[in-house]
Structure 1
Amino acid sequence: MTQPHAPQAPLSPGRLRLVILAMALGAFAIGTTEFASMGLLPQIARDLEVSTPQAGMLITLYALGVVIGAPLVTIAAVKMPRARLLVLLIALIGLGNLLSAMAPTFSVLAAARFVAGLPHGAFFGVASLVAARLSPPGRRARSVSLVMLGLTIATMLGVPASTAFGQVVGWRSAYVIVVVVAALSTIAIWRLVPEPEGAGVTGSIRGELRALRRAQVWFALGIGSIGFGGMFAVYSYIGEIVPGVMGLGERAVPVALFVFGVGMTIGNVLAGRAADRSLYGTIFTGLIGMTVSLTVFALVAENAIAGMILLFALAITSQFMGPSLQLFLLDASPDAPSLAAALHHSALNIGNSLGAALGAAVLAAGWGLLAPAWTGVALAIAGLGIAGWSFAVHRRQQARAAVEAPTTTDGVPAVC
């Protein structure tokens, strides 16, 4: 048992790597289930006799489960030790995907995807918090990014593999793969992850809700929920865009997903290092890069090579917001970090839902398969505007603090 009042010895580098690997395995399972559905929408639509835009609602419903589940699960488990909560959450993710694999109708599958999304945000929020608390100063964002690396590796390997497998064997097999990986992660977290000191167990709902008092928390959630939606407006319909715009066959979809996954993995690693130096710089780089990538993609995507290059660039730049916004929220609400960290993934999945829904709307309106890319441009620009507003407020707070306490020497920037 962990002794809550005894000083916790720092983990050795080797042990810390194993702890992060156990949580990253859970992130891999989540990334596979979240993104594989996007590449298999045409197969799901045909098998369950619905249109592709209707099948796209599976993405929206999963994201809605994340949005609702992240705060509710975090608050409901406010007194549960963080390591034990991680075990429960990844086990529930496995259960949700088992229900998805067994769904006999589209309505049942839609309900199963919503249920599968409920533990998603809380898992990533708690895992990020645990990774940051167990890491030495100056490496917190890097450790958070390594947990998230499981998700981006899923987009590089798990999603293309499960998509290709699903095209040959059937879309249900993708969810079966997730069930197996989630089971392995459950065992690994149970055996390897310790309960860290100061892990955000406030002991009260009121304590966690303090996070919602801080303006910078809301700014960060706005950046994630709107700006990040720009990427999902395109990625959600990659199964249609690759054959319909880029002129490649349906079997090229896993290749495009692999390219996107490689870009996300590279972007995640770069973002972890950059965010330890400058949170705002990393956020601005990501949003500007997304805006440029989406604009050029919309203009040149009919050329298959250029389209692939732009998808790769979009994947890299989109990941600059993940670790940076996660650490931003942890710093913005130090006395209620669990809810703040979980809400980060609610925000990203609002972006997921918003991008997918707006993409479906412009497709249903008959505006063409490149209309989601232009929708993504608008969302990225809106996110950039919110980030600029947040930075202006941050600078005013810094100036006010300097006037009120000119002798401060701790060098810690105020982000709330």
Structure 2
Amino acid sequence: SVVATEVVPPQKRGSAIALMFTGLTLANVLGVPLGTWLGQAFGWRSTFWLVAAIGVAGLIGVIALVPSLPRPTGSVLRELATFRKGAVWLALAMTVFGFAPVFAIITFISPIMTGVAGFSAGAVPVVMVLFGVGMVIGNLLGGRFADRAVMPSIYGSVAALTLVALVLALLARNQIAFVVLITLFGVAAMATATPLQTRVLDAASGAPVLASAANIGAFNLGNALGSFLAGLTIQAGFGYTAPAWTSVLLGVVGLGVAGLAGWQARRRRVVTPGLTRVPAATP
């Protein structure tokens, strides 16, 4: 994402990050079923050979097409000093709690579908493909929204994610509603990714590479947190709709963290249209 933002104008950073994330979403939508088919048709080794070939092609493409960027001038200690900023930690917390709702549901999608919505096990991959298609759409939308305004994009996408999870918890037994809502859940889920990544890069402008790596860790921490908490609710005997309610609660926390981050940013400074920073007015 750092390289992507360096080769485009500042007003197109969100779209550049979204384009980079498109590779990840397409890999899930197309790669998983393709790998499964290859393994069934030609043996499991064929999938690994394909991955190796794609990896070599990707390496050649990076060497040939990605421009060289100047080396960072700051030291590692200077980059680490960026993490003294409260805004950086709030941005990372937004990623954790803004994305945790996704895996609270998706980790348990199979038992939710078969045990609550009444789908057959064979329908699970089909619905997951629709979820993946929604992620591709959401990723593109998230990039455009982030180009316009990062924090409002985070507010809107996390709120949409929370709302869809709430409706899903209420209508999980309706199969038509379930399919539509899981697709919309994919849209909202990936619409959060680019704004969250952009916000971290903004907050840690002095250490973009380190901050970007930390934010990937924050995404994974959110994945683990959502799965863990949803699993606890199932273990406690609340049933397979409990992950959706867990997703709602995590989304509310994510909105709270985002609101706190936005309040802090407004309080610390005001950016004029000419990009001149002046002290914020004291209420």
The verdict on a shared fold, with TM-score over 0.5 as the criterion, is yes
Deviation at 1:176, TM superposition (A): 6.2
Going from structure 1 to structure 2, the CA distance change for 1:167 and 1:289 (only over 3 Å counts) comes to: farther
Q: Is the 8 A contact 2:91 2:203 kept in 1?
A: no
Q: Does 1:156 align with 2:29?
A: yes
More deviation, 182-191/327-336: 182-191
What is the aligned partner in structure 1 of residue 275 from structure 2?
411
CA distance in structure 1 between the aligned counterparts of 2:40 and 2:237, rounded to whole angstroms: 27
Counterparts of residues 11-410 of structure 1 (less than 5 Å):
128-162=1-35, 178-197=51-70, 201-202=72-73, 204-398=75-269, 410=274
Going from structure 1 to structure 2, the CA distance change for 1:342 and 1:369 (only over 3 Å counts) comes to: same
Q: Is the 8 A contact 1:160 1:257 kept in 2?
A: no
Going from structure 1 to structure 2, the CA distance change for 1:172 and 1:251 (only over 3 Å counts) comes to: farther
CA distance in structure 1 between the aligned counterparts of 2:262 and 2:84, rounded to whole angstroms: 18
Higher relative contact order (CA 8 A, sep 6+): 2
CA distance in structure 1 between the aligned counterparts of 2:75 and 2:234, rounded to whole angstroms: 45
Going from structure 1 to structure 2, the CA distance change for 1:383 and 1:175 (only over 3 Å counts) comes to: farther
List alignment gaps of at least 5 residues for structure 1. 1-127, 403-407
**The residue matched to 1:138 in structure 2 has which SS?**
helix
**The residue matched to 1:276 in structure 2 has which SS?**
helix
Deviation at 1:337, TM superposition (A): 0.9
What is the aligned partner in structure 2 of residue 9 from structure 1?
none
Deviation at 1:370, TM superposition (A): 1.5
What is the aligned partner in structure 1 of residue 281 from structure 2?
none
CA distance in structure 1 between the aligned counterparts of 2:41 and 2:224, rounded to whole angstroms: 28
**The residue matched to 1:135 in structure 2 has which SS?**
coil
CA distance in structure 1 between the aligned counterparts of 2:114 and 2:42, rounded to whole angstroms: 21
CA distance in structure 2 between the aligned counterparts of 1:348 and 1:413, rounded to whole angstroms: 31
**The residue matched to 2:67 in structure 1 has which SS?**
coil
Deviation at 1:165, TM superposition (A): 6.0
Going from structure 1 to structure 2, the CA distance change for 1:268 and 1:409 (only over 3 Å counts) comes to: closer
Q: Is the 8 A contact 1:159 1:257 kept in 2?
A: no
Deviation at 1:313, TM superposition (A): 1.2
- How many residues end up aligned between the 2 structures? 278
Deviation at 1:133, TM superposition (A): 0.4
CA distance in structure 2 between the aligned counterparts of 1:352 and 1:137, rounded to whole angstroms: 30
In structure 2, give the amino acid aligned to 1:353. A
Instruction: Compute the TM-score of the two structures, normalised by the length of structure 2.
Output: 0.89
Deviation at 1:387, TM superposition (A): 0.3
CA distance in structure 1 between the aligned counterparts of 2:8 and 2:242, rounded to whole angstroms: 43
**The residue matched to 2:69 in structure 1 has which SS?**
coil
Going from structure 1 to structure 2, the CA distance change for 1:388 and 1:167 (only over 3 Å counts) comes to: farther
Going from structure 1 to structure 2, the CA distance change for 1:169 and 1:275 (only over 3 Å counts) comes to: same
Instruction: Compute the TM-score of the two structures, normalised by the length of structure 1.
Output: 0.62
Deviation at 1:365, TM superposition (A): 2.7
**The residue matched to 1:245 in structure 2 has which SS?**
helix
Deviation by residue 1:306-331 (Cα, 9 ceiling, x = unmatched): 10111111111122221112121222
Q: Is the 8 A contact 2:117 2:174 kept in 1?
A: yes
Going from structure 1 to structure 2, the CA distance change for 1:162 and 1:341 (only over 3 Å counts) comes to: same
Going from structure 1 to structure 2, the CA distance change for 1:175 and 1:353 (only over 3 Å counts) comes to: farther
Deviation at 1:302, TM superposition (A): 1.4
Deviation at 1:345, TM superposition (A): 0.9
CA distance in structure 1 between the aligned counterparts of 2:149 and 2:114, rounded to whole angstroms: 39
List alignment gaps of at least 5 residues for structure 2. 279-283
In structure 1, give the amino acid aligned to 2:275. G
What is the aligned partner in structure 2 of residue 113 from structure 1?
none
**The residue matched to 1:366 in structure 2 has which SS?**
coil
CA distance in structure 2 between the aligned counterparts of 1:166 and 1:235, rounded to whole angstroms: 24
